Structure 1
Amino acid sequence: VFPAESHPRLSIMTPTRLLLGSVASSMVGFSLGALQGGQMAQLRFRAEHAHKMPDTTAGWYLYHKSKNYHAMQGGIREGFRMGFKTGIWSLVALSLESTVDRYRGSSDMFSTVIATLTVAGAFSLWHRFSLSTAARTAKYGLVFGLAYGGVQDLVGLARGRPIGYVEMI
């Protein structure tokens, strides 16, 4: 499926890089989703039970116990949801980056920028963003592509990988 690479990005072969990148972004997505989901579930619990606040010490103990249980359950649910989404979008971006590398015949920052801009556009279309929000998403995709691609090129240059635009200079 993947041709042999003489100089892989970050010195990691493409299938391994796709797996590691997707798993890492899924873990970050799970963490962020769990934090946000736990907070939202906690606030929802407080709003739903605001009319019947406890009066006794035992009642407050059970109230907080239930609130923490709901917060944990909401956090885990939202964490898995967000982790799955971020894992899929990063898998698409990394796969597209590898595909652009193969078709261009060179792996450098420009392939990363093309991949991140394409994924930002697809993300905007998927979520039906307005034109101004889609432009902002594209700007973030461009900045991320330049930064991530630049770091990859610096690491590759330090390890002796040929970088097309550097060799032209």
Structure 2
Amino acid sequence: MWPFSSENSGGRRERGVLPTSPNASNAGSQPTVPDTSLAEEIDVTLQTVTRQPQRLGLHPILRISLIGAISFIAGFGLGSAHGATTAALRYRAENAHRTPTSRTGWYLYGKSRNYHAIIGGVTEGVKNGARYAAWTTLFLAIEEGLDRARGKVFASRQDREDGKLARGQRDFLNTVSAAVAFSGLYGWKNGFDRWSAQRLTRSAVRFAVPFGLAQDALASLRGDRPWYVEWVMGRAGAVERNKVGQEMA
């Protein structure tokens, strides 16, 4: 018998085949199929999330991160300008009793003042940017929570089973409600009195109404019309159909 040869059930010899046990041959004859249930579930979830209408056409995590980053940049710019000016004035006040008397002294004085201004500006800018980003993220999170809550309340039973939300519930009313809640939390955190809290709430509402309507207009252009736009268009369509029916009659 040739080495590295085996006989099959018909007695025919095959050269170059290693002898294997029956169990190994049976295991090799049935290839292992990878479990794709988890991958399919993830794919369905991603498709469901992608099909859901979103504000500004962006996923909530991406939208909140992007607007939070913009808020941090704006807060850093404002805070760094204020911090640099304050640090420079503080340095001048602390060293007013020992002003330089020579050109070299004034050069070193200006260099040290600029150094303190840069340090103070960067420090205050980071603090102010983080504060802006945190409050902006809180407002957007409240808005997204209200959107999801209304979407679940007005969703049909089939949509709830499929993990979908009712369409048309992301409107300016949620934006205004989130602004009112945000102003209350901000006033409570900073210890505002009654009149200051009311003024802050009015300012928040004046900001939230145009901001929410702008988001509704953008959603309408993308095809995700809010409920009140659908209602107005439905009423207009019904009036037009009635008029056409009367003319035909």
Separation in 2, partners of 1:144, 1:76: 29
**Aligned-pair CA distance for 1:51:** 1.2
Question: Which residue number corresponds to residue 9 of structure 1?
Answer: 55
Question: Which residue number corresponds to residue 28 of structure 1?
Answer: 74
Identity over aligned residues, as a percent? 35
Question: Which residue number corresponds to residue 130 of structure 2?
Answer: 84
| 1:53 equivalenced with 2:99 (yes/no) | yes
* RMSD after superposition: 1.4
Separation in 1, partners of 2:110, 2:218: 50
Alignment of 1:15-164 (within 5 A): 15-105=61-151, 106-164=169-227
Higher helix share: 1
Structure number with the bigger relative contact order (C-alpha 8 A, sep ≥ 6) is 1
Which 4+ residue blocks in structure 1 deviate beyond 4 angstroms?
none
**Aligned-pair CA distance for 1:155:** 1.2
Separation in 2, partners of 1:152, 1:164: 13
Separation in 2, partners of 1:63, 1:141: 45
Separation in 1, partners of 2:96, 2:227: 63
Cα shift readout 1:94-114 (whole Å, capped 9, x = no counterpart): 011000001112101111111
Separation in 1, partners of 2:218, 2:146: 19
Question: Which structure is larger by alpha-carbon Rg, 1 or 2?
Answer: 2
Cα shift readout 1:22-52 (whole Å, capped 9, x = no counterpart): 1111111111111111111111111111111
Separation in 1, partners of 2:100, 2:212: 56
Question: Which residue number corresponds to residue 230 of structure 2?
Answer: 167
**Aligned-pair CA distance for 1:147:** 2.0
TM-score with structure 2 length normalisation? 0.65
TM-score with structure 1 length normalisation? 0.94
Count of paired positions:
168
Separation in 2, partners of 1:85, 1:155: 29
Separation in 2, partners of 1:64, 1:147: 47
